[in-house]
Structure formats: structure tokens, C-alpha cells
Amino acid sequence: MRKKVIAGNWKMNKSLNESQELVSKIINGLGNDTKCDVIVCPPFTSLSEVHSLIKNTPVKMGAQNMYHEESGAYTGEISADMLISVGCEYVILGHSERRAIFNESNKSINNKIKAALNKKLIVIFCVGELLEQREKGITTDVVSEQITKGLDGISSENMSKVIIAYEPVWAIGTGKTATPQQAQDVHSFIRELIAKIFSSVVADNLIIQYGGSVKPDNASELLTQKDIDGALVGGACLKADSFLGIIASA
């Protein structure tokens, strides 16, 4: 049985004070008995302080991005070691906003995934099609290319440290969620693809999250689909109540 994993991607939101306030409310609302894994991904500037608040709680922390090089003259970038030094166990890579706004390619995402896994970070690897690609009927081609190129050179052993987040780009921040069936179809396609690239054991153990306008009122119908093992939540994770509502559905 795969455990459900709910992650909150705070994106470029929350000052240090606001971050402390939000994570404190999440911790208080959760208690100690969570049946799913809960991950918060605050902005870089809040990681260290959020980490001191989540110590001895079930909440884990991730970053929203990193650079693949170890150190050096890369102004504005953050390395895997830096993330680990402030308490990150996870890192989101390949988010569609990184791909679209910051021109990240499958190749650069692959470099980042390799670097993160080398340092034993758990990677939340995002894939998903644009609306025009879905309308053209090429969703699985797009997702397949993103996964094949993004995971190129990754070993089966390292796949235990990879979570795939399927996020149809047209559903991110738009209020339009994929129907449970649309999401399930792509999730099951992804699991079959992973079985072909790696093995059925890797595929069976792989956590595949859905992301794109997940809210407390649509979470349970998504999360009860056979191949949906959790959610990557954007907008709805910025308020403790709605994030806790999604966790409760899981």
C-alpha cells in the first residue's frame, strides 16, 4: 500500500512572519497522528525558520527549486547542500512555472534531478501538458517525453527517492481541475511507463501526486482514484484551514 503524500507549494508567497504563522497553524491543526505524509515547501527565505518550527512534528519540508552545480559563481542560485543545511528533505523540480517562465528544459531538469538524488534529497518531479497539447490529443506524448528525458540516467534504486507530480498546466491556478477520470488515466499511463523504463516493482512503489486546483472539496474524489497517491497543492495550501482540509481527505 502506498502512503498518501500531500505537499504544499507556497510558490512566491509568505514573508518570514507569515510563513511562521502558517506553519504553526498547520502543525497545531495536524496533531501527531497523521495517516499521510505532509510536506511544506516555503520560499527559500523562510526555510530555516520553518525548519525550527517543524522539528519533532510529522511535517516535513522541501524547497521549490535548486541548481545542479555544487557551488561557485552562479549568482542567485541555491545548491542541494544549501537546502540540506537548512533542513530540506525534499525539492520540487520541473514545475511548469519553472519550465514556462524560467525556460527550464527537460535537460536542465534532468541535471537538477541527478544532483538532488546524489545528495539524497527526495525529488518531487513535476510533469504535465498545456491545454493546447491536451486538445491536440498529445497529452501522453508530452508527459512521456518529460518523464523519459527528466529521468534519463536515474537508477532504479534512486527511483525510491522520486515522487512524480502530474500537473496539467491548464489546471494550475485556474480553478479548473482535471476530472478524477482524466487524472486517473494519465496517472495510470505514468505508472505503466515507469514499469517499462524501470520495473513493475519501481512502478508499484512510485508515489504519483496530482496537482492543479486541488481544494478541500475536490480532494477526496481525486485521492480515491487507484493511481493517485497524493496531491501537490498551490493556492489552497496558503491557508491552514484549506490545506488541513485536503490532508483530512487523504
Residue of 68, 95, 104, 129 with catalytic role: 95
- Per CB under 6 A, which of residues 11..40 are in contact with ligand PGA? none
CB 6 to ligand PGA: min, Å: 12
Choose, by CB under 6 A, the member of 4, 5, 6, 9 that binds ligand PGA: 9
Which x/- pattern over 194-233 shows residues binding ligand PGA (rule: CB under 6 A)? Answer: -----------------xxxx-----------------xx
Per the annotation, the verdict on 135 as an active-site residue is: no
Nearer to ligand PGA, 115 or 232 (CB): 232
- Rank residues 39 and 147 by Cβ distance to ligand PGA and give the closer one: 39
Binding-residue pattern over the window 161 to 200 for ligand PGA, x denoting contact by CB under 6 A: ------x----xx---------------------------
Smallest separation (angstroms) from ligand PGA to the CB of 175: 8
For residue 200, the minimal CB distance to ligand PGA (Å) is 28
| Category of 206 on φ-ψ map: left (φ > 0), alpha (ψ -120 to 50) or beta | beta
CA–CA dist 182, 239 (Å, integer)? 27
Question: Which listed residue (97, 104, 129, 167) is catalytic?
Answer: 167
Q: Interface with ligand PGA includes 234 (CB under 6 A)?
A: yes
In the structure grid, which three cell numbers stand for residue 130, read together? 498545456
Nearer residue to ligand PGA within complex by CB, 198 or 213: 213
Q: Which among 99, 201, 188 is positioned nearest to 150, based on CA atoms? A: 99
Known catalytic residue: 95?
yes
Instruction: Identify the CA nearest to 210 among candidates 179, 243, 237, 238.
Output: 179
Q: Which is nearer to ligand PGA, 198 or 243 (CB)?
A: 243
Cβ proximity to ligand PGA, 87 vs 230, nearer residue: 230
Please report how close the Cβ of residue 153 comes to ligand PGA at its closest, in angstroms: 25
Interface residues with ligand PGA (CB under 6 A) are 9, 167, 172-173, 211-214, 232-236
Active site residues: 95, 167
